[in-house]
Every structure is written in structure tokens, then in C-alpha cells.
Structure 1
Amino acid sequence: MSIYNSALKTAAEDLLQALDDEDLVSLAKTATNNRITPETKKESIDAILLHTPNVKRLLSYRRITTQKLFQYLHKNKVSINGYASRSQLANTVEVLWGESDNHENGTQKKHKNESNVTEKVKVIVKSKSLGDEYETKTKLCKRSSLNPEESKSIRNLEETHSIENLQVQRSDDFSQEFCRWFYTMINRLQPECSNQLGDNFREQVFSGNSSVGLYFLCEPYKEMHGKGRIETFTLFKNVVCEYRFIFSPNLENGIGAEKSPHGMVKIFCCGTLHQGSAFIGIFEQEFGLVFSPADQAWLIMNTKVNFKHTLIQEIPTLPPYEIFAITAS
């Protein structure tokens, strides 16, 4: 059953009304896999709700930004920390809708117990300096298991450096969520993955002055570069489509994150490469993410990708990374 035919239709319509026409058309195209191009705001909202199976999927659309979610909760008199992450705001909307008995006249009842909305989040604070180069950080190596003493040290860190009542997101959760979203979006460029649920790959995921570097570590060696939002987007899309790349990121132990003193978040990911059902090699990718106050969203400032042809079907991994707090500001 879709949201259109559920009791939450009015609430979802109220949320979507805050989006501009361009965002609604884009969401409608995403929800219908580009099979419908609506001409009015109502047609856009109807298409989104009719072809979106549940609330979790609706709130995962990136066009429904952190700012829009916060404004919606404020409108409905829900108290929430101003530094809450997008995923926490989305969870709060889910809780709000789950507790509402009815959605009359486009309004909702306030959550009865605000203590259930704002939860304590504990994170480990990152302390080491950042100086390692990209080549070092993307080197493939197997993740070693922790011995009892190391596990004890981590537990002590969690107890010592916990942040109480601060709405933040753990770096491991953030990086996993980002990679799942990004590679699903990229894979949808291929016909065999086009019916998967996910956003459409578009220029707006990159910052205005973004850059990309693509490195083919095989014979003959080749590298390609692009600068600026349009060139970065076009080059990445063209290469993925030309080589028919399908990415399978190692979301369990092939992801890491770091944060610079100035707020840029670096995400590292590795995994296997495929063409259709055929395994063709592995990839290593680095993202530099910046939070845009204008867009109220994380944008890709730069990215580098290593493509390696290999016949050894071993899933690449990365060493453990320290966990730290990520806040949108």
C-alpha cells in the first residue's frame, strides 16, 4: 500500500507543500523512475505519495532537506534540538506521525511525551590529528579483530567521552547512510538497477566548485579529471555509463570517516565492481563533504576513485576508524 492510500496522506501532503515546484517535480520523477513528468504542484504531490510505499522511504528523499524537516516540526510545535541531524529529524517526524490519531485540516497533534522525541546520543569524540594522505587511507587491508584489552579501552572511551542530550550523528552511521544512498543512486544509471528505489543522480549532489579524479590502475594506466559542478557530474556519469559499472560497497567493514578542523568530513569506501552479473574488479573511493548553509545539505566537494581490474573475488576492507560526532551547522 502506498502513502496515498494510507491514513498519513494528509500529514505527508502537509510536509510536501513546503517544497518548491522544482523539488517536487524531481521527487515525482524519482518516485516514478522518470516515467511521469507532472505539470502542477498537486500532480507532483499525488505522484510522490502514490508511488512511495512507506513513510521511511518518503523521508529518505534528499529533496526533503534538514531545513524542511526542522521547519515542519517547528510548525507542529515539536521541541527538538537545533543541531539535530537529518536522520534524527526524520525519525522524529516518524514518531510524530505514529502518535497522531488524526490529521485534520493539514495539522497534527503535538507528541504527548517530548522526552520520547529527544533521545540521548552517545558518541566517541575523535582526538587524533589528520595528516595521512589519500593513498595511505585507501590502501586495502583486512580488518583485524579487537583483543579484550582493546575492547575494554573502547568501552572506557565511550563512558568518558559521551555527549549527553546533544543531537548528533555517529560518524559510522553517517558514512554508512551516505554510501548506501550514493551507490544506490549511481547504480540506478544502469538498466538492470533502474527499478531500484533511490534518488536520481544529478548535478546538485556536488558543490559549485567540486572536483573529481578517476584513476584506472591497470594496463594501460589512465586518469581523468573534472572541475566544477557540471563537469564533475558529467564526467562521473559518463564513465559509469560507458563502462557499465555497478558498485557493491562493503558497508560492513569497508567504510571510514574523518573530520578536518574546519568541518569537512572525509568518507572512504571500498568494494567490488561489476558489469551486469560479472565481477570485474574492485574500487576505492574518497569523498570530501561540506555542509552547505544555503542548501541545508551535505554536498560532495571532491571525490577520487581508484578502479582496479582483478580476478580475485575477495571483498576489500579498510582498517577501523575512530568514531566521532557529526553535526550539521
Structure 2
Amino acid sequence: CNLASKKMEAIHAILVYSQNVEELLKRRKVYREIIFKYLAAQGIPMPPSSEKHLLIDRVKQYWSGQLTTHTSESGDRKPHTQVILVQKTQREKSLQDDIHDLGEEFCQWFFALLNSQHPLGVKSEERWGPEHFWEDAKMKFCYDTLEKNTEEYVGSEMVSLRLLSLVKEEYLLFNPNLRANGLKCAMSRHGLVLVAVAGTVHRDNTCLGIFEQIFGLINCPIRENTWKIKVVNLKIVGQNALEPGVQIEKPSIKYEPNQLQELYDGKELTNIQHLLEVSLLTMGSYNNK
């Protein structure tokens, strides 16, 4: 799928291919005014007419701990290590926001396209097919009836067809909860973007239950702004086995992005099934009729 993830990719590329701080700040897109405002925000006064190379030198001094800010000189000096930690936290927060935006846009695209394959759905101009998956894509599908059922598929064609059949042949519609805690995203150290989303499953005018789905997305190295699905883990829990009086809560993801990241780093992608099993809000069954 083509996603507007230019911001995240551009930031990553610039950081990777910049040899040092000076080379990074000398880039044309890093305007003199931006550096000037940054120094001012850090309490480092500079003459308004300062040239860009002088501003860069002052930033280098500040980042290396050779410079005390105006605030520090007045008696409120903070250790340089604290400055580094703040900068690191800000960078991580910005990256996490970009990843979350990517995950939200992916879910909007994916579920709109999948639901459009429903016989009564609004047709999409975009085609559903294996081209949206890596050739060695894997899928684990778990649904609860009176006993647990698990299906596994390997290959872009098989994964694509199984997801398609849920909507086209079993007449299911997926309604993801992209607000509050219904969506959690993370990136592994290898660049795999993890998207965990919860929502409700419907057929006609009936809400059958809830679902929880986790995607592993990998950026295509030869097609700009294109992410393909590497792994899919889907679990559906229906209502008909719930105890009397039990209501389905608003679907949400109970674990945090760092748990997703830790689970994937250095492990098989499909190991996430365990996390799915312990994090679902309610136990029930998937009505496959």
C-alpha cells in the first residue's frame, strides 16, 4: 500500500546519511531561522544578524556541553547529561508519533479496502490482492467457539485469499477502533513497523463480537513510500458464549508499544499469538454461520 510516510522516512534517511552534526545542520532545508529560534528557545541569545555558520558553531558548543545557557548562568544550571536525556526523549516521542500516524493511516486504508470486498460494500477503485503482501507473508487466525480454532497460512496468495474470504464469503465487516487505546504501534530495531488494532466484527445489522489484529509491516526498498504486510495475527471473539449480563467493552489494546517491540526483537514474528491470547478483553466464540 502507498502511504504518506515521507516525513518519517526523510528524517530517518537524513540522520543515517549525515556524517556529523555540522553536515546535518548545513543542509539547505535546515534554515538559518530554524537554528536561531532553537538557540533562543534554549536560552542562548544570538545577534539577529548572525550568519548560519556562526549559529551552527554555537549549537555544536551547546550540544557538546561547552556552553552554558542564560538560564544556567543565573544559577539554575542543569547537568549536560540531563540535556541529552531531554533531547533523546523528544526525538523518541517524535518518532513514536510518526509511527502511530503511519499505523493509523495503514488501518484506515487496509480495513476500507478489505470491507469494500463485501458483496454489499462500497467498491474501491484499488484492487485487493497478494501484491499488498510480501511473498513469504504469514498469517495466524484464531477464533473461539466452544473450543479454540487456529488456522495458519504462508505465502502472499494464501494470506490474501483467507482474509478476502472472511468478507466476501462469510460476510463479515471489520470496524477498527482507531481512537483512545484501540491502536498501538511500535518499530522493532530492524525497522519492522508493528500495528496492533482492536475493533468490532459485524454481519448485517448484528455485532458478532470483537477482534484484535496485529500487523508487521516492512518498507519496500525499491518503491518509495510503500509498505507491505509481512505478518498478520488475527483473533476474533464472539458474543454467543459470553455469560449472561456480560457486555462487550469498547475494544482496546491492553499492552504498550514497548511490549510489542520487545516481543518481536530477536524472535519469530508469529510468537505474538501468545500476547493476543492473554490480552483480549472478553472470551467468547466466533459465529461462523
In the alignment, structure 1 residue 226 sits paired with structure 2 residue 153? yes
Question: Cα distance, 1:178 vs. partner?
Answer: 1.1
Q: How many equivalent pairs are there?
A: 184
> One-letter code of the match for 1:303?
V
SS at match of 1:318: coil
- Aligned equivalent of 1:288, options 208, 216, 239: 216
- Aligned equivalent of 1:177, options 105, 111, 114: 105
Question: Cα distance, 1:222 vs. partner?
Answer: 2.1
Is the CA contact (8 Å cut-off) linking 2:119 and 2:171 kept in structure 1? no
> Computing the radius of gyration over CA atoms, which structure comes out larger, 1 or 2?
2
In the alignment, structure 1 residue 199 sits paired with structure 2 residue 199? no
TM-score by length of 2: 0.54
Question: Cα distance, 1:84 vs. partner?
Answer: 5.5
- Aligned equivalent of 2:236, options 301, 307, 320: 307
Question: Cα distance, 1:206 vs. partner?
Answer: 0.4
In the aligned structure 2, how far is the partner of 1:199 from the partner of 1:240?
Answer: 16
Question: Cα distance, 1:63 vs. partner?
Answer: 5.4
Question: Cα distance, 1:159 vs. partner?
Answer: 6.3
SS at match of 1:208: strand
Sequence identity of aligned pairs in percent? 22
Question: Cα distance, 1:314 vs. partner?
Answer: 2.7
How well do the aligned residues superpose, as a CA RMSD in angstroms?
A: 3.6
Is the CA contact (8 Å cut-off) linking 2:213 and 2:233 kept in structure 1? yes
In the aligned structure 2, how far is the partner of 1:192 from the partner of 1:81?
Answer: 37
- Aligned equivalent of 1:321, options 241, 245, 256: 256
> One-letter code of the match for 1:293?
P
In the aligned structure 2, how far is the partner of 1:231 from the partner of 1:81?
Answer: 31
In the alignment, structure 1 residue 277 sits paired with structure 2 residue 205? yes
Relative to 1, partners in 2 of residues 1:163 and 1:300: Cα closer, same or farther, differing over 3 Å? same
Is the CA contact (8 Å cut-off) linking 1:188 and 1:200 kept in structure 2? no
Relative to 1, partners in 2 of residues 1:189 and 1:173: Cα closer, same or farther, differing over 3 Å? same
Question: Cα distance, 1:267 vs. partner?
Answer: 1.0
Relative to 1, partners in 2 of residues 1:202 and 1:158: Cα closer, same or farther, differing over 3 Å? farther
Is the CA contact (8 Å cut-off) linking 1:246 and 1:273 kept in structure 2? yes
In the aligned structure 2, how far is the partner of 1:235 from the partner of 1:169?
Answer: 32
> One-letter code of the match for 1:227?
V
Structure 1 gap segments, 5+ residues each: 1-61, 71-79, 86-113, 121-156, 324-329
In the aligned structure 2, how far is the partner of 1:188 from the partner of 1:317?
Answer: 24
Question: Cα distance, 1:192 vs. partner?
Answer: 3.0
TM-score by length of 1: 0.48
> One-letter code of the match for 2:249?
E
SS at match of 2:169: helix
Any idea what the Cα deviations from partners look like across 1:50-93, whole Å, max 9, x if unmatched?
xxxxxxxxxxxx45887xxx8xxxxxxxxx997259xxxxxxxx
Relative to 1, partners in 2 of residues 1:184 and 1:259: Cα closer, same or farther, differing over 3 Å? same
